[in-house]
Amino acid sequence: MLTAACRKTTGPGRTMYVRLWSVAQRQSFSSGSAEKPLPGNLMLRHLTSKIKATGPISVAEYMREVLTNPVMGYYVQNDMLGPDGDFITSPEISQIFGELLGIWCLSEWIGAGKPSRFQLVEFGPGRGSLANDILRVFSQLRGALGGAAVSVHLVEVSPKLSQVQAQCLTGDQSQVSASEDEPVYRQGTSTTGLPISWYRNLDDVPRGFSIYLAHEFFDALPIHKFQGTEKGWREVMVDIDPDEPGKLRLVIVPAPTLASTQLIQADEKRRHVEVCPEGGVIVQRLANRIAEDGGAALIADYGHDGTKTDTFRGFKGHKLHDVLASPGSADLTADVDYSYLRRMAGATVACMGPVSQKDFLKNMGIDTRLQVLLRNCADPSTRAQLIQGYDMLTNPLKMGERFQFFTMLNHSRLTRPEQSKGGKKMAPVPKKGPAPLPVAGFSELGLS
Ligand code: SAH
């Protein structure tokens, strides 16, 4: 995560966009970001009156209110990405990130037998930079797409960010729906000529062969927190601090809750556990869609494979921030538990990963792509920025190891290349046939 600005420079034969960047992953770093307190801290008042009325609230409810409350939620109110924001993400660091993900989408579409309809679905697109870089790749490789009907579908809860995305992707040529209740709340055409629609929920996205992308989306979904005690698992909840009524504190509630009885695995070895049931539900829905309609999902986030314990934290101005202090003014996040997502996906789809961002990007050919860009770029400061961006993304001490990639695929994808079935369920796969295309990123890119 870091601060970013966009600059246009020219490469041989085409326009090349290079993002200028300076500092900062979410876990550390400083910036001069301005305080953005809510007037009289409305969010704190909202939360304390809720707790006074019903008792302590789960961390999941706290996160949901703070981040996505429709009136004063952090994501609803803010453009939090960038130099004046609270954190910065890989697509904002370097154009190469989005370009390689664009190649990944193409590779999976080819591996699935080049269906005639191709939906690109992105969850939580932030400023739209990732989709923008991917659509540029699609435009440049239009020939490879062979006339497939490509459409773009963005699942975004924040009206404010959807406006930023529309500006980035359509040049502000988008229309907002007349009624707030419409499942498609904004529509437009990308600067590269593809239809784009905005939704609040996955359920509203049309069915059909789709490549789903979620970059730094699952970490923003609400988690429940549990503590192992002598009496068994107990939920950690948010309460009013009795010593300072204007402050909140975390408490371990004495009696089991529905969540503490339902969400912990019988063989759980950790003493402190975070579970994100909303993430589990989304993964199950994705798995069903991929199994029935064809396609793949790529989830990229900082995460672990069922090993970490207390990862709930806040970020403000590129610095760690107390999760309970001035709620609504800072980002809240928790590492993604990929072992939980894999369990929720079940046998419906084939899962691969998590693999580290460094390995994924190297398998996707980031070294070659960097060399090509450097060869075509004479400006010393742009060259330095390209190299810095590469280092930030791949260095194990920066984002290279902490960020992980995980994919869910239609089972037929790993057996043999399919001819297009127009988005229908794949036929049983014969034993003979050409070997399937390797799944790029999880092994070396196999396209020539
Ligand atoms: N993917 C972007 C932005 C990450 S920030 C990037 O990597 O740069 C998280 C994004 O998810 C924001 O766009 C936020 O508004 C969106 N978001 C958070 N919770 C959401 C929810 N429940 N449904 C849909 N979008 C959500």
DSSP string, 341-361: HHHHHTTSSEEEEEEEHHHHH
For ligand 1, atom 16, the nearest C-alpha belongs to 124
The residue whose CA has the least distance to atom 10 of ligand 1 is 124
- What six digits make up the tokens of 81? 């990405």
Ligand 1, atom 17: nearest CA belongs to which residue? Answer: 124
Q: Which of 63-72, 126-135, 403-412, 433-442 has the lowest mean pLDDT?
A: 433-442
Average pLDDT, the chain: 88
Atom of ligand 1 nearest to the CA of 75: 15
Residues with CB under 6 A from ligand 1: 67-68, 75, 81, 89, 91-92, 124-126, 155-158, 161, 215-217, 220
Inter-residue contact 188 to 166 (CB < 8 Å): yes
**287-328 tens-digit pLDDT:** 999 999 999 999 999 999 999 999 999 999 999 999 999 999
Q: Over the stretch 111-129, which tens digit does the pLDDT of each residue have?
A: 999 999 999 999 999 999 9
Ligand 1 centroid–CA 122 distance in Å is 10
- For ligand 1, the distance from its centroid to the CA atom of residue 265, given in whole angstroms, is 28
Q: For residue range 159-206, list pLDDT tens digits in order.
A: 999 999 999 999 978 999 988 789 999 999 999 999 999 999 999 999
Q: Give the distance (Å) from ligand 1 centre to CA of residue 85.
A: 14
Nearest CA-CA partner of 79 in 127, 38, 42: 127
Which pairs count as long-range contacts for 236-243, CB under 8 Å and 24+ apart, including other chains? 236/59, 237/56, 237/57, 237/58, 237/59, 238/47, 238/51, 238/56, 238/57, 238/58, 238/59, 238/61, 238/62, 238/324, 239/51, 239/55, 239/56, 240/48, 240/51, 240/52
Pocket test for ligand 1, best of 66, 121, 156 (most atoms within 8 A of CB): 156
Is the predicted pLDDT of residue 8 greater than 90, yes or no? no
Residue nearest to atom 21 of ligand 1 (CA): 157
| pLDDT at residue 5 greater than cutoff 80 | no
Residue nearest to atom 2 of ligand 1 (CA): 126
Q: Could you tell me the distance, in angstroms and rounded to a whole number, from the CA of residue 279 to the centre of ligand 1?
A: 13
Which of 21, 74, 157, when mutated, tests ligand 1's pocket best, judged by the most ligand atoms within 8 Å of its CB? 157
- The per-residue DSSP string of 168-188 comes to HHHSS-EEE-SSTT-SEEEEE
Q: Looking at the CA of residue 87, tell me the nearest atom of ligand 1.
A: 5
How distant, in Å, are the alpha carbons of 95, 303, 370, 425 from that of 366?
11, 22, 6, 34
67 alpha carbon – ligand 1 mean position (Å): 10
Torsion angle (degrees, nearest 10) of CA 361, 367, 368, 369:
60
Phi, psi of 392 (to 5 degrees): -60, -40
382: CA distance to ligand 1 center in Å? 29
Question: 86 versus 189: which is more confidently predicted?
Answer: 189
Q: How far does residue 264's CA lie from ligand 1's centre (Å)?
A: 26
Digit-coded pLDDT (tens) for 327-369: 999 999 999 999 999 999 999 999 999 999 999 999 999 999 9
- 92 C-alpha vs ligand 1 centroid, how far in Å? 14
What is the whole-number distance in angstroms between the Cα of residue 316 and the centre of ligand 1? 16
